[in-house]
Structure 1
Amino acid sequence: MGLRMMRFIAPLLGCAALSVLAACPSLAQDKVKVRLAWVAGGVDAPIFMAASKGYFKDAGLDVDIVDGNGSTGTIQAIGSGDFDIGIAGLGALAQAQQGSGADTIIAVAGLLQKDPTAIISLKGSGITKPKDLEGKRLGTDAGNFEDGMIKAFAEANGVDMGKIEVVMINGGGDRVALLKRDVDFINGWANPDGDKVAAQAPIEPPMLFADYGVNILGSSVIVRKDYLSTHAETVKSFLVALQKGKAAAAADPDGALKVLMEARPDSDEEGIRGEIATMPKYEHTAASEGKAYGWIAKEDVDLTISLLEKYSGMKPGLTSDKIYDGSYLPAN
């Protein structure tokens, strides 16, 4: 009698246990709040692909992706604990840490390592090499000029800034001024800024600052150090899933575009398409070429720090190990 009862109860107990597990999948999921650097764009395709393909879920992560309004805002949001993982420029992180004296946030991967900032000029401008900038008119806004990188580009390439007429154009009107030929060149991102100009008039090949000795590391995965100390496996799992998302986006860019547009239906579809196509060429420097997605070379971190100290007024003393730790990435 007892044996027959057990044969009847045991399957029910098993089903009950399975039902509990099935009904409560969140028990196995580690909730992670992620804040992007800006409104979602092509650079973020690997994150959205990792979410869509279930790579985060497979890694035990329940990831919530929120748009940002700039690296500074994301750095502040991570620092305050409002988010667990953020995407922000590594150069911006360095400046923020040195400016505040805090040592609470670190980058664990670099998504855009070759700075897209470039000299953009119209076809026939006569600007094909750095020295050609002398005697020409630069259109820029105050913030873009004062960050010091155009000055760094000039000094690194023997260009006399005193021979360049600087025309301040606020409100993002530099592209319009260039198209109207009110200025001879602007400094912006080769993609998408250069693409937007090229859609209106032929341009010379943009001169990337990174190709001329001036490279500031860009979009990176950042976390608080205290979060990292208690959630090391979470961060590792996130990066593994992110690399899978990158591979999926590279294999199927149209699929990546579809995923992004489903997640952010108000986005500029053609703009996103262009970013997905062009951003991969900015993912590595010569020093990190051939390495896994996200891996940063120490020499590139050192260069970023030295450029910021020399041209952007960042106080000295920061070392690469204070702002980047690549040990959480999967082995190359």
Structure 2
Amino acid sequence: MKHLMMPFVGLTMLCAPFASNALAQDHEKINLRLAWVAGGVDAPIFVAAAKGYFAVKGLDVNIVDGNGSTGTIQAVGSGDFEIGIAGLGALAQAQQAAGADTIVAVAGLLQKDPTSIISLKGSGINSPKDIEGKRLGTDAGNFEDGMIKAFAEANGVDMNKVKVIMINGGGDRVALLKGDVDFINGWANPDGDKVAERAAIEPPMLFADYGVNILGSSVIVRKDYLAKHGDAVRGFLAALQKGKAEAAANPNEALKILMEARPDSNEEGIKGEIKNMPKYEHTAASEGKPYGWVAEQDITLTISLLEKYSGMAPGLTPAKIYDGSYLPAN
């Protein structure tokens, strides 16, 4: 999702309310860098820290905000952070571009891409073919990543019949509300929600529901770190699963915990993310599996889409970027 960039803010969470200083010193230190400024998608991490779930696994986790998947991938790769949160698609592209094979994802947190077609109520855009003859408002990055073209090709849409209007600086939602464009491509949540606050919208058409899905936020580590600290990674993922279960059971408490950790955050925005992000945690192939479990066929689809539409060099295999063996079975 689109976040404002801000300086990294570190927060060392207490190992547990009852932990002694001596015990805390014995815990293995893990510096964790998020993909973006902390949001609702990160609630399970903050809950796991505040509830002492990391501490039970012998871990002392320091949570630091990020400014994008690319920066987090670089920071983990350089050894500044032991664990990071970054898009699996971004990791695939970074590894192919750099020709390196040093980082691997060990869990997938957002697996269903929220990217969608967003239009106002009454636009007549209810199926992919309906965007023909309409005006698309998008920024250069969204258009050049190739996914709108993939969506069009997968659904028999002639993009030559779509008028593309470049709108940089985040003004696409404003243009939609003003009627300067007929639709935009953004995240159903929160972008669609923000538009809906001002005007009624049609149900967003998720690219993932129409054959185009790029795997999102994942837990990433360096392979050399994983080889030496496998138990720490297993403990981290087990605590994260417990934090997720707790956040799902008590979303209001999860919101309180995150706001206490990041008091400058937009509370209403975080609340909406905590409510909506669970719908993007699984694909049809991973539904019913534990939190974080990723289906190989979804990784294969991500790779093929990036190769075909984003110019990623061919040759990447799922095993090079994902290892699910450290994730607890339940």
- Using the size of structure 1 for normalisation, the TM-score is 0.93
In the alignment, what sits opposite 1:197? 195
In the alignment, what sits opposite 1:222? 220
1:253-292 paired onto structure 2 within 5 Å: 253-292=251-290
Per-residue deviation, 1:27: 3.9
1:123-142 paired onto structure 2 within 5 Å: 123-142=121-140
In the alignment, what sits opposite 1:296? 294
Q: Report the CA distance shift for 1:55/1:271 in structure 2 as closer, same or farther (over 3 A).
A: same
Q: For residues 193 and 312 of structure 1, what CA distance do their matches in structure 2 show?
A: 23
1:140-289 paired onto structure 2 within 5 Å: 140-289=138-287
Q: Deviations over 1:220-275 (max 9, x none)?
A: 00000000000000000000000000000000000000000000000000000000
Q: For residues 38 and 323 of structure 1, what CA distance do their matches in structure 2 show?
A: 21
Q: Deviations over 1:189-234 (max 9, x none)?
A: 0000000000000000000000000000000000000000000000
Q: Report the CA distance shift for 1:301/1:226 in structure 2 as closer, same or farther (over 3 A).
A: same
In the alignment, what sits opposite 2:96? 98
Q: For residues 139 and 327 of structure 2, what CA distance do their matches in structure 1 show?
A: 38
Q: For residues 126 and 67 of structure 1, what CA distance do their matches in structure 2 show?
A: 40
In the alignment, what sits opposite 1:47? 45
Q: For residues 200 and 159 of structure 1, what CA distance do their matches in structure 2 show?
A: 29
Q: For residues 246 and 265 of structure 1, what CA distance do their matches in structure 2 show?
A: 21
Q: For residues 31 and 62 of structure 2, what CA distance do their matches in structure 1 show?
A: 5
Q: Deviations over 1:293-322 (max 9, x none)?
A: 000000000000000000000010000000
Higher helix share goes to which structure? 1
SS at match of 1:315: coil
SS at match of 2:284: coil
Q: For residues 107 and 22 of structure 2, what CA distance do their matches in structure 1 show?
A: 32
Per-residue deviation, 1:22: 5.2
Q: For residues 273 and 247 of structure 1, what CA distance do their matches in structure 2 show?
A: 17
Q: Which runs of 4+ in 1 moved over 2 A?
A: none
Per-residue deviation, 1:331: 1.8
Per-residue deviation, 1:24: 1.6
Q: Does 1:37 align with 2:35?
A: yes
RMSD over equivalenced CA pairs, Å:
0.9
Between structure 1 and structure 2, the one with the greater Rg is 1
Question: When the two structures are aligned, how many residues end up with a matched partner?
Answer: 312
Per-residue deviation, 1:28: 2.4
In the alignment, what sits opposite 2:15? none
In the alignment, what sits opposite 1:6? none
1:8-47 paired onto structure 2 within 5 Å: 24-47=22-45
Residue segments in structure 1 that go unaligned for 5+ positions in a row: 1-20
- Identity between Structure 1 and Structure 2 (%): 80
Q: For residues 52 and 120 of structure 1, what CA distance do their matches in structure 2 show?
A: 37
Q: For residues 192 and 306 of structure 2, what CA distance do their matches in structure 1 show?
A: 25
SS at match of 2:61: strand
- Using the size of structure 2 for normalisation, the TM-score is 0.94
SS at match of 1:109: strand
